[in-house]
């Protein structure tokens, strides 16, 4: 994160030096296995897969995390999910009920560049990593739930209300 001060409405979001996902988004990481890309988003394989299919979808433009999102980002979250599902279909996944799409909430994030986890089949998520991807826990929120919260103008994450407000 360099010397950037972080705040919820950081006006300096854009490309952040030393951000590994900004490098991937800008084709500067040779290791990354990009599977889909458009003008707005990039999808690549998670280097530490928790399921037979595990991809990350990121916006090319640096946004910190789901705490940074507001109502106007509903469309973005939707498009991220659409790209994730498109990749799964292209990879031969047919049971779209057995998939998991969601975001980690701070402080449970590995890279502070907004990324949607796309996992399939969700019934085959590794036992030792499954705790990271349980909807409604303090660490993980599904994309659907996040969109609903943004729509309701509820903060994406109310840490202390979590037990009451998450399904
Ligand atoms: Zn970044
Ligand atoms: Zn993550």
At 88-131, the pLDDT tens digits run: 999 999 999 999 999 999 999 999 999 999 999 999 999 999 99
Average pLDDT of 122-146?
95
Distances from the Cα of 44 to the Cα of 27, 39, 56, 76, angstroms: 11, 15, 6, 17
State the helix-helix crossing angle for 143-151 and 74-90, rounded to 10 degrees: 160
How far apart are the C-alpha atoms of 69 and 91, rounded to whole Å? 29
Please state the rounded mean pLDDT for residues 20-37: 95
32 inside domain: yes
User: Residues 24-35: what's their mean pLDDT?
Assistant: 94
Domain annotation covers residue 119: yes
Mean per-residue pLDDT for 25-30?
93
- 13 found inside a domain: no
* Predicted pLDDT of residue 154: 74
- Arithmetic mean of pLDDT over the chain: 87
Start-end of H helices in 12-112: 20-25, 74-90
pLDDT over threshold 60, residue 2: no
pLDDT at 39 over 60: yes
Residue 15 lies in a domain: no
- 29 inside domain: yes
Q: Pairing mode, if any, of strands 116-120 and 34-37?
A: unpaired
Ligand number nearest CA of 106 is 2
Range with lowest mean pLDDT among 10-24, 54-68, 150-164:
150-164
Cα–ligand 2 centroid distance for 93 (angstroms): 22
Give dist(CA 147, CA 47) in Å, integer.
26
**Would you say residue 60 has pLDDT above 60?**
yes
C-beta of residue 24 within 8 angstroms of C-beta of residue 42: yes
Q: How many angstroms separate the CA atoms of 33 and 146, rounded?
A: 27
Question: What is the structure's pLDDT at 3?
Answer: 41
Domain annotation covers residue 139: yes
Residue ranges with CB less than 5 Å from ion ligand 2: 104
Question: Does residue 124 form part of some domain?
Answer: yes
pLDDT at position 95: 97
Ligand 1 center from residue 94 Cα (angstroms): 32
Give the domain CATH number at 55.
3.30.428.10
Residue 152: give the domain boundaries. 20-165
Q: What percent of the chain has pLDDT over 70?
A: 84
Residue pair 80/57 in contact (Cβ under 8 Å)? The answer is yes
Which ligand gives the minimal distance to the CA of 105? 2
Residues with catalytic function: 115
Reported as type and span, the H/E element at residue 142 is: strand 140-142
Residue 4 domain flag: no
Q: With contact defined as beta carbons under 8 Å apart, do 118 and 55 qualify?
A: yes
The total number of structural domains in the chain stands at: 1
164 CA → ligand 2 middle, Å: 23
pTM of the model: 0.85
Rounded to the nearest angstrom, the distance between the alpha carbon of 11 and the centre of ligand 2 is 23
């Amino acid at each position: 994160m360099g010397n950037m001060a972080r705040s919820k409405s950081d006006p300096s979001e854009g490309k952040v030096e030393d951000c590994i996902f900004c490098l991937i988004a800008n084709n500067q990481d040779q290791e990354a296995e990009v599977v889909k890309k458009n003008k707005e988003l990039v999808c690549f394989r998670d280097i530490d897969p928790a399921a037979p299919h595990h991809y990350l979808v990121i916006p090319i433009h640096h946004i910190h995390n789901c705490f940074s999102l507001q109502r106007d980002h509903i469309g973005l979250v939707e498009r991220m999910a659409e790209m994730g599902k498109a990749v799964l279909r292209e990879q031969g996944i047919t049971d779209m009920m057995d998939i998991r799409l969601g975001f980690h909430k701070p402080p449970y994030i590995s890279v502070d560049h907004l990324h949607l986890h796309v996992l399939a089949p969700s019934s085959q998520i590794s036992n030792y990593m499954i705790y990271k991807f349980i909807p409604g826990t303090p660490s993980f929120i599904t994309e659907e739930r996040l969109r609903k919260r943004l729509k309701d103008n509820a903060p994406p994450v109310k840490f202390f209300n979590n037990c009451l407000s998450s399904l």
